[in-house]
Amino acid sequence: MAYKSVFDASAIKSDFELAGLNPNFIPLIWKHILQNPNCGWDEIPSLPSAAYPLLRSKYKPSTSTLHSAIDSSDQVTTKLLIKLQNGEFVEAVVMRYDTRLGKYDGKPRPGGLRSTLCVSSQVGCKMGCNFCATGSMGFKNNLSTGEILEQLVHASRISTIRNVVFMGMGEPLNNYSSVVEAIRAMTAPPFQLSPKKITVSTVGIIHAISKLHKDLPNLNLAVSLHAPVQDIRCQIMPAARAFPLERLMNTLREYQTSSQQKIFIEYIMLDGINDEEQHAHQLGKLLETFQVVINLIPFNPIGSLSSYNTSNDQKVIKFQRILRGTYNIRTTVRKQMGQDISGACGQLVVNKNFTIKGGGKIMAEIRGLILPKD
Ligand code: SF4
């Protein structure tokens, strides 16, 4: 029998209620596991006696294992390869940064050391974006709430996580109920992340965006737009055919009106495809009446999996200047992180030839796992 993850929030809550146990004990169980990675059920103190046989018979403290953790050479990024109970692998990435670096308004920036965790929501992805390593794998399965939360548990043992972004493998809004449940758990004890520190990134699943603000107010929404016109979107993101740009923009308008929050726009810079001056003007006109922050993302090559090239620095800077100067839109250029450890989502899993802790290569294993998609 496959055991459930104790972090499968609704399953354990309903089992506790059925057994007449108080669900308020659940965060205490989670806290103990966070602090004691290899503990057995009997080692968790002060639970009602009926909780122990229930936990033993149906649950595991973790259904996934940290298969390997690979640091980038600059130690800023750590990529976690996590093995699930069904033998599949997903990636999670810890990114460390110091918000005090640089100046703001001529003064030292406030803040300090922070870690952001990028989590996966699916094994593979249906959306098939053709610049994306996960996209090259095809869809395997949705992650359960517990499997999503366990990524945070594994990462929390490496670094103090202050922000979570759903920008790993998979389209989070295609696994809506598990993602929503995982985020609710992340904002409750013992994790207690602020919803403002959690970002869900989507290619633009229109019906799910319409629901999101009601289910999770105060969350950050990032939209992977990647092109200012529908035909280029469809060329690089085949799934965009189902989500016409005009309808998507109407949905984002409604989302912004009800949430009153800015929306983050992700825009991957692909040489000769979407990085010309005309594209910057089209993007500026499309977004000038929204409250948005645009992140320009230099493309992270995925080797033979993609024929795209990275836009050169001059093109990226010119693109940014047009958006800022002509359209007054806050536009940042994302720093490339962890390229030496296959920094883009899905690359580590798709990469068939890397060494793991404990020796050997998992080339054949990985090839069997995931090869058909970011
Ligand atoms: S970019 Fe995101 S939505 Fe597109 S294939 Fe990759 S994981 Fe899926």
pLDDT of residue 273: 97
Q: Which atom of ligand 1 is nearest to the CA of 132?
A: 6
Is residue 368 over pLDDT 60? no
Q: In b/e form, how buried is each residue of 321-345, taking b as 16+ CB within 10 angstroms?
A: ebbeeebebebebeeebbeebbbbb
pLDDT of residue 234: 96
Amino acid identity, residue 166? F
CA 170-368-201 angle, 5° bins = 5
Contact (CB, 8 A) for 100 and 110:
yes
pLDDT of residue 97: 79
pLDDT of residue 350: 60
Q: Which of 149, 142, 84 is nearest to 369 (CA)?
A: 84
Half-sphere exposure in the Cβ direction for 185 (13 Å, CA) = 30
pLDDT of residue 302: 61
Out of 19-23, 35-39, 40-44, 314-318, which region has the weakest mean confidence (pLDDT)?
A: 35-39
Q: Which of 105, 103, 87 is nearest to 2 (CA)?
A: 87
SS3 state at 132? coil
Q: Which of 91, 147, 150, 171 is catalytic?
A: 91
CA of 115 to the centre of ligand 1 (A): 23
**Is residue 158 exposed (0-12), middle (13-18) or buried (19+ Cβ within 10 Å)?**
middle
Q: Which atom of ligand 1 is nearest to the CA of 373?
A: 5
> CA 213 to CA 192: how far, in whole Å?
19
Out of 87-91, 107-111, 347-351, 365-369, which region has the weakest mean confidence (pLDDT)?
A: 365-369
CA of 184 to the centre of ligand 1 (A): 23
Atom 1 of ligand 1 has which residue's CA nearest to it? Answer: 374
Q: Which of 43, 125, 345, 365 is catalytic?
A: 345
Region 95-111: mean pLDDT is 70
Tens of pLDDT, residues 142-161: 999 999 999 999 999 999 99
Relative to beta strand 198-202, strand 220-224 is parallel
Q: Which atom of ligand 1 is nearest to the CA of 167?
A: 2
Largest CA distance in the chain: 68
Amino acid identity, residue 266? E
Q: Which residue has the higher pLDDT, 300 or 277?
A: 277
Atom 6 of ligand 1 has which residue's CA nearest to it? Answer: 374
**Structure token pair of residue 356:** 């793991």
The verdict on pTM exceeding 0.85 is yes
**Is residue 35 exposed (0-12), middle (13-18) or buried (19+ Cβ within 10 Å)?**
exposed
> CA 277 to CA 28: how far, in whole Å?
55
Contact (CB, 8 A) for 180 and 147:
no
CA of 294 to the centre of ligand 1 (A): 18
Is residue 248 over pLDDT 60? yes
Q: Which atom of ligand 1 is nearest to the CA of 169?
A: 7
Q: Which residue has the higher pLDDT, 279 or 343?
A: 279
114 band by pLDDT with thresholds 50, 70 and 90: confident
CA of 111 to the centre of ligand 1 (A): 32
pLDDT of residue 119: 97
> CA 234 to CA 132: how far, in whole Å?
14
pLDDT of residue 362: 27
Alpha-carbon dihedral sign for residues 188, 194, 197, 201: positive
Atom 3 of ligand 1 has which residue's CA nearest to it? Answer: 171
Q: Which atom of ligand 1 is nearest to the CA of 171?
A: 3
72 band by pLDDT with thresholds 50, 70 and 90: confident
pLDDT of residue 69: 94
Q: Which atom of ligand 1 is nearest to the CA of 133?
A: 6
**Structure token pair of residue 233:** 């979107």
Residues having CB within 6 Å of any atom of ligand 1: 125, 127-129, 132, 134-135, 169-171, 203, 373-374
Is residue 360 over pLDDT 80? no
Atom 4 of ligand 1 has which residue's CA nearest to it? Answer: 129
pLDDT of residue 300: 79
Structural domains present in the chain: 4-60 (no CATH), 65-368 (3.20.20.70)
Please say if 91 is a catalytic residue: yes
CA of 167 to the centre of ligand 1 (A): 9
pLDDT of residue 354: 39
User: Cα Rg for the chain, rounded, in angstroms?
Assistant: 21
pLDDT of residue 320: 98
29 band by pLDDT with thresholds 50, 70 and 90: very high
CA of 371 to the centre of ligand 1 (A): 14
Atom 5 of ligand 1 has which residue's CA nearest to it? Answer: 135
Is residue 359 over pLDDT 50? no
Ligand 1 pocket mutation pick from 295, 349, 373 by most atoms within 8 angstroms of CB: 373
Region 106-117: mean pLDDT is 76
CA 78-84-87 angle, 5° bins = 120
133 band by pLDDT with thresholds 50, 70 and 90: confident
Please say if 288 is a catalytic residue: no
DSSP lists the bridge partners of residue 104 as 107
Is residue 189 over pLDDT 80? yes
φ and ψ at 3, to 5 degrees? -80, 150
**Is residue 214 exposed (0-12), middle (13-18) or buried (19+ Cβ within 10 Å)?**
exposed
Helix and strand counts by DSSP (H, E) for the chain: 12, 16
pLDDT of residue 306: 72
Mean pLDDT of the chain: 88
CA of 226 to the centre of ligand 1 (A): 12
Structure letter (DSSP) for residue 361: B
pLDDT of residue 351: 58
Rounded to an integer, what is the distance from CA 240 to the centroid of its chain?
Answer: 19
CA 20-187-140 angle, 5° bins = 85
φ and ψ at 174, to 5 degrees? -85, -5
Relative to beta strand 198-202, strand 163-166 is parallel
